[in-house]
């Protein structure tokens, strides 16, 4: 686009517009032309494009963009419950609530601010839910998408929660996808009442429905899309678990907001904290951070070794 990062006005690179439900959308752009779009409904990232304008997140062609439910795709946030393991609605209430832009967020380290287009969001505390929840979505000069969530317990009682960035990655063909970094880990299988199994030595590939919570995973994992020669590298902090979900054929047909064949074009890989929920005493704070890059696979295989994968 011909803009140099030095003169790029990161503040001006954030635009707010309304969708057809009157809900604010925030558009972030970087100097190279990458972009991210966030809906204040759920604080959900609904689009992330590279500098070629290619969409990197999956959104179903049958997605319903109408509150109160989160739309099928992008990065809905599961909080304070994951799945149906608890008394709340499936995946918790945060993805179904209206968030606000936070004009006065608690400070983050300079590395998380300088040279990034970003927006700070806030899930406002309500009477039954006395926690502040500042959340930042940013787009780096490199095009990486960075999500940072902080939960502060401002209630007088301890507060426990689970959390997941339910990330719908766009892939060309699920049968050509491989996930590296989960080998030999234990996982809880959602298709077997969360029974515990151990992954064998090979990278994870897909030939049927997969719905698992991998435990204590490394802080970097890679999702390789062989056909598109693209690799997503997911780096995380404060998020020990990784959820991997693909509904495959039968479950796809049972979801009203998902096309029958669309399971081929997506895989959910979530940085999460599920097995051992976080418990915050009054006044305590937790931070979770996820950074996703989408790189050509050739570039990636040379560099993954340096990240300890």
Task: Provide the binding-site residues for ligand BG6, judged by CB under 6 A.
Answer: 83, 90-91, 166, 190, 211, 243, 245, 268
| Buried b or exposed e, range 196-214, using 16+ CB within 10 angstroms | eeeeeeeebebeebbbbbb
Decide: 8 and 140 in contact? Cβ < 8 Å.
Answer: no
Beta carbons within 8 Å of 244's beta carbon, 6+ residues apart? 179, 182, 204, 210, 211, 212, 214, 267, 268, 269, 270
Nearest distance in Å: CB 46, ligand BG6: 14
Q: Whose Cβ is closer to ligand BG6: residue 266's or residue 300's?
A: 266
Q: Whose Cβ is closer to ligand BG6: residue 76's or residue 134's?
A: 76
Q: Whose Cβ is closer to ligand BG6: residue 162's or residue 190's?
A: 190
The reply, when asked if residue 228 is annotated as ligand binding, is no
The reply, when asked if residue 265 is annotated as ligand binding, is no
Q: Whose Cβ is closer to ligand BG6: residue 90's or residue 307's?
A: 90
Decide: 28 and 17 in contact? Cβ < 8 Å.
Answer: no
**Any alpha helices (H) in the chain, and if so which ranges?**
248-254, 297-304
Nearest distance in Å: CB 110, ligand BG6: 34
Nearest distance in Å: CB 49, ligand BG6: 23
Beta carbons within 8 Å of 300's beta carbon, 6+ residues apart? 222, 224, 231, 233
Nearest distance in Å: CB 291, ligand BG6: 20
The reply, when asked if residue 72 is annotated as ligand binding, is yes
Binding residue ranges for substrate: 72, 90, 95
């Amino acid at each position: 686009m011909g803009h140099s990062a030095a003169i790029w006005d990161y503040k001006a690179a954030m635009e707010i517009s309304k969708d057809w439900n009157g809900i604010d959308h925030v558009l972030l752009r970087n100097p190279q032309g990458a972009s991210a779009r966030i809906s204040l409904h759920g604080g959900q990232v609904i689009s992330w494009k590279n500098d070629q304008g290619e969409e990197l997140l999956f959104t179903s062609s049958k997605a319903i963009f109408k509150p109160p439910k989160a739309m099928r795709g992008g990065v809905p946030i599961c909080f304070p419950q994951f799945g149906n393991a608890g008394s709340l609605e499936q995946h918790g209430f945060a993805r179904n609530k209206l968030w606000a832009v936070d004009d006065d967020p608690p400070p983050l380290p300079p590395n998380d601010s300088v040279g990034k287009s970003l927006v700070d969001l806030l899930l406002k505390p309500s009477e039954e839910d006395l926690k502040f929840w500042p959340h930042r979505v940013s787009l780096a000069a490199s095009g990486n998408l960075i999500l940072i969530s902080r939960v502060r317990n401002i209630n007088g009682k301890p507060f426990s929660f689970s959390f997941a960035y339910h990330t719908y990655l766009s892939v060309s063909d699920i049968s050509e996808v491989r996930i590296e970094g989960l080998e030999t880990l234990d996982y809880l299988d959602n298709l077997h009442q969360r029974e515990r199994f151990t992954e064998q030595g090979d990278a994870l590939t897909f030939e049927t429905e997969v719905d698992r919570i991998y435990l204590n995973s490394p802080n970097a994992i890679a999702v390789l899309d062989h056909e598109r020669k693209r690799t997503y590298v997911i780096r995380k902090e404060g998020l020990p678990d990784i959820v991997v979900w693909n509904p495959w054929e039968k479950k796809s047909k049972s979801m009203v907001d998902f096309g029958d064949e669309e399971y081929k074009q997506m895989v959910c890989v979530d940085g999460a904290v599920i097995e051992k929920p976080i418990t915050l005493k009054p006044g305590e704070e937790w931070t979770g951070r996820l950074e996703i890059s989408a790189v050509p696979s050739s570039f990636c295989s040379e560099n993954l070794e340096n990240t300890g994968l």
